[in-house]
Amino acid sequence: MATHYYTIPEIAKETLAKYPQVDPERMKRAVELADARNLHIAGYDENGEAIPRPSYDAMIIKGSKGWYIIRPKAHKCTCPDCKKGNICKHRLAVYLYRELLRRTYGEKILQPHDPNTEPLPA
Ligand SMILES: [Zn+2]
């Protein structure tokens, strides 16, 4: 049986077909952003407080006016476009990236790391 490897553009195409409310232009930018070079797990929250167990539930992207925090489960991003009520390119980028990880490695990779039950190698 052939193994299927998902790609970001493929997931983007699927998402556009499934959700007509997603703007294709923002999705185009999101495909360029949905990369480990641009997307990072946030160590600090919107108020500058350290996040105790950083995970893919709070990610950051550098935008034109600083760093934006994206909270995929809350459907939120701190950028001006999202504040206007749009599904911004940052949220779409995080969605694509998480979806790629989930399909490739399974749900567990998206869960926060628990140092009490899963210690890092010494
Ligand atoms: Zn945004």
Mean of all residue pLDDT scores within the chain: 91
Of the candidates 60, 14, 4, which has an alpha carbon nearest to the alpha carbon of residue 33? 60
The reply to whether 71 falls in a domain is: yes
What's the CA-to-centroid distance between 1 and ligand 1, angstroms?
A: 40
Q: At what angle do helices 8-18 and 24-33 cross, to 10 degrees?
A: 160
The reply to whether 2 falls in a domain is: no
Q: What percent of the chain has pLDDT over 90?
A: 74
Q: In what order do the strands lie in the sheet with 59-63?
A: 39-41, 59-63, 66-71, 76-77
What's the CA-to-centroid distance between 98 and ligand 1, angstroms?
A: 16
What's the CA-to-centroid distance between 49 and ligand 1, angstroms?
A: 20
pLDDT at residue 120 above 70? Answer: no
Domain that holds residue 102: 8-107
What's the CA-to-centroid distance between 114 and ligand 1, angstroms?
A: 28
Q: Is 10 helix (H, G, I), strand (E, B) or coil?
A: helix
What's the CA-to-centroid distance between 119 and ligand 1, angstroms?
A: 33
The reply to whether 117 falls in a domain is: no
- Phi, psi of 16, deg, nearest 5: -65, -40
Tokens of 17: 């077909």
The reply to whether 54 falls in a domain is: yes
The reply to whether 58 falls in a domain is: yes
Q: What is the pLDDT of residue 117?
A: 75
Q: What is the pLDDT of residue 83?
A: 94
Amino acid, res. 86: N
The reply to whether 113 falls in a domain is: no
Q: What pTM did the predictor assign?
A: 0.89
Residues with CB under 5 A from ligand 1 (ion): 77, 79, 82, 88, 90
Q: What is the pLDDT of residue 32?
A: 96
* Mean per-residue pLDDT, 85-102: 96
The reply to whether 115 falls in a domain is: no
Domain count, the chain: 1
What's the CA-to-centroid distance between 61 and ligand 1, angstroms?
A: 8
For 12, the enclosing helix (H) or strand (E) is helix 8-18
Tokens of 88: 């911004």
The reply to whether 116 falls in a domain is: no
pLDDT at residue 1 above 60? Answer: no
Give the confidence band of 114 by pLDDT, cuts at 50, 70, 90. confident
What's the CA-to-centroid distance between 2 and ligand 1, angstroms?
A: 37
3-state helix, strand, coil in the chain (%, to 5): 40, 15, 45
* Mean per-residue pLDDT, 64-83: 93
pLDDT at residue 53 above 70? Answer: yes
